[in-house]
Amino acid sequence: MKIYPAIDILGGKVVRLTRGDYSTAKQYYEDPLSVALKMQEDGAKYLHVVDLDGARRGDMCNCAIIEKIAARTLLKTEVGGGIRGAEAVKTYLDAGADRVILGTAAVKNYPFTLEVNALYPGRIAVGVDARDGYVAVQGWEECTRLSGEEFCKKLAADGIYDVIYTDVACDGNMSGTNLEIYRRLVRIPGLRVTASGGVSGKDELRALRDMGADGVILGKALYEGLLDLKEVTEEFQCLQKG
């Protein structure tokens, strides 16, 4: 299983939100690059980076910082937040990102998502962020009436196989993730599921690994000391191609 420690960037700093609420932002570190290098030192092979400013505004606010992380670490970095057009996708991939995450764009401009998925096979993931089962967009501030689970089925049917699924109600709470939704999602033919939001213990990691999750994103549980990245990577991480 791939282990993705997370770096969320707001105003150039490393922060974490609770339930996607920007007003709850808690700053942990000043320099995202130093955090990424420390994660690499602790055994990480993968990294999940989100431009929170970009997610809300729809542009690449912290692009220079993210490009620096991609260039100066050996981590297979996936990048999301504010990526709305083909030029943004190309910019991050050219900078060394392993894959790009589409969220709002995947919902609001589905033909574009299909286009870039065909253009960059294996390098596009879709972030499906669900609030009460329905997809949320624009940095989770706007909720649609699109079922998260049904959207995942549509993505897989259309050849988009990499999904990062977040139950927004669990994110940042450190009180557990929604294991039941992942049990359903991993049964969708062809879908590779990365679990995100609320994972806070090794029992959950074991459950996700055993059910066949492709990866898991760890955020606040690492920053608050509930999980140790060295221990987690030693027990759970498997370096995979793609």
In a domain, 151, yes or no: yes
How far apart are alpha carbons 68 and 50 in whole angstroms? 14
* pLDDT confidence tier of residue 55, bands split at 50, 70 and 90: confident
* Residue of 8, 53, 167, 171 with catalytic role: 8
**In the predicted structure, residue 140 carries a pLDDT above the cut 70:** no
Give the residue among 168, 196, 172, 202 at the shortest CA–CA distance from 182. 196
Residue 172 has pLDDT above 70, yes or no: no
The better pLDDT of the pair 57, 150 is held by: 150
Catalytic annotation present for 8: yes
State the average pLDDT over residues 13-33: 93
Question: What is the band of 19 on the pLDDT scale with cuts at 50, 70, 90?
Answer: confident
214 against 173, higher pLDDT: 214
Q: What share of the chain in percent tops pLDDT 70? A: 95
- The bridge status of strand 13-18 relative to strand 2-10 is antiparallel
Number of domains in the chain: 1
Say if strands 46-51 and 76-80 run parallel, antiparallel, or are unpaired.
Answer: parallel
Beta-strand pair 21-29/192-196: unpaired
* pLDDT confidence tier of residue 121, bands split at 50, 70 and 90: very high
Under the banding of pLDDT at 50, 70 and 90, the label for residue 241 is very low
Residue 242 within a domain: no
In a domain, 211, yes or no: yes
Percent of the chain residues topping a pLDDT of 90: 81
Query: Which of 180, 178, 171 has the alpha carbon at shortest distance from 221?
Result: 171
Q: What is the mean pLDDT of residues 178-202?
A: 96
In a domain, 241, yes or no: no
Task: Note the pTM of the prediction, 2 decimals.
Answer: 0.93
Nearest Cα to 75, choosing from 103, 35, 102?
35
Lowest mean pLDDT among 54-58, 171-175, 207-211, 213-217: 171-175
Q: What is the per-residue pLDDT across 212-231, written as a single tens digit (0 to 9) for each?
A: 999 999 999 999 999 999 99
Question: How many angstroms separate the CA atoms of 137 and 143, rounded?
Answer: 6
Q: Which of 51, 53, 98, 129 is catalytic?
A: 129
Cα–Cα distances in angstroms (integers) from residue 178 to residues 152, 171, 185, 212, in the given order: 16, 10, 11, 15
Average predicted confidence (pLDDT) for the chain? 93
Is 98 a catalytic site residue? Answer: no
Distance CA 147, CA 162 (A): 17
- Asked if 46 and 36 touch (Cβ cutoff 8 Å), the reply is no
Q: How far apart are CA 188 and CA 209, in angstroms?
A: 16
CATH number assigned to the domain comprising residue 112: 3.20.20.70
**Can you give the residue range of the structural domain that contains 213?**
2-236
